[in-house]
Amino acid sequence: MNAVDGAPSSAPKGLAGDVREFAHNVLTLAELQAHLFVADVQECGQRIMIPGIVLICGVVLGMACFPLALVVLALFLVQLFEVTYAMGFLIAFAAGAVLSALLVAIGYLQVREHAILLQRSREELRRNLNWIKKVLKRSRTTRSDPNDQSWRTLE
């Protein structure tokens, strides 16, 4: 055995192979992570479509129908309760604001509930980073058995 500084001469080739294999594994994980990210974004878009439409419809309906409805309500209040026009329009405004806020809140809560954004991607990225840390932490000197493949797993 030809040794330099106590290391066998085959160490650079073995180290280069290990680095090459590690780099290949990291690139494969990055590619798979990107595919998972795309799938998560597509799934998220599908999951929030209906609640998003409800939210948008609530906002559009509030903007389109409320002015006329509030005017009619205000005039009705003035006639029914014999209050001033200002008081009738103020009451109508308050009722419209409460109803609009209620629609927006319901839509927002539904969107937020269905949009747990990229949960799978985050979990998989965490597992991949833990694996990379484990491989980098593992010292070549602690691996006495060349057939030991335990570093390939997360456990």
Distances (CA, A) of 85 to 74, 75, 81, 92: 7, 7, 11, 10
* Cα dihedral across residues 26, 28, 31, 35: positive or negative: negative
pTM check: above 0.85: no
Span 101-125, mean pLDDT?
81
71 and 97 housed in the same domain: yes
Encode pLDDT of 25-37 as tens digits.
888 888 888 888 8
66 and 103 housed in the same domain: yes
Please indicate, yes or no, if residue 154 is contained in any of the structural domains: no
Range of the domain at 127: 10-48+117-139
Nearest Cα to Cα of residue 35 among 121, 152, 100, 133 = 121
Whether the predicted pLDDT of 67 surpasses 70: yes
* Number of folded domains that form the chain: 2
Please indicate, yes or no, if residue 78 is contained in any of the structural domains: yes
59 and 102 housed in the same domain: yes
Structure confidence at residue 59 as a pLDDT band (50, 70, 90):
confident
55 and 67 housed in the same domain: yes
Cα gap 100→103, rounded to integer Å: 5
82 and 104 housed in the same domain: yes
Distances (CA, A) of 31 to 34, 104, 126: 5, 39, 15
Please indicate, yes or no, if residue 148 is contained in any of the structural domains: no
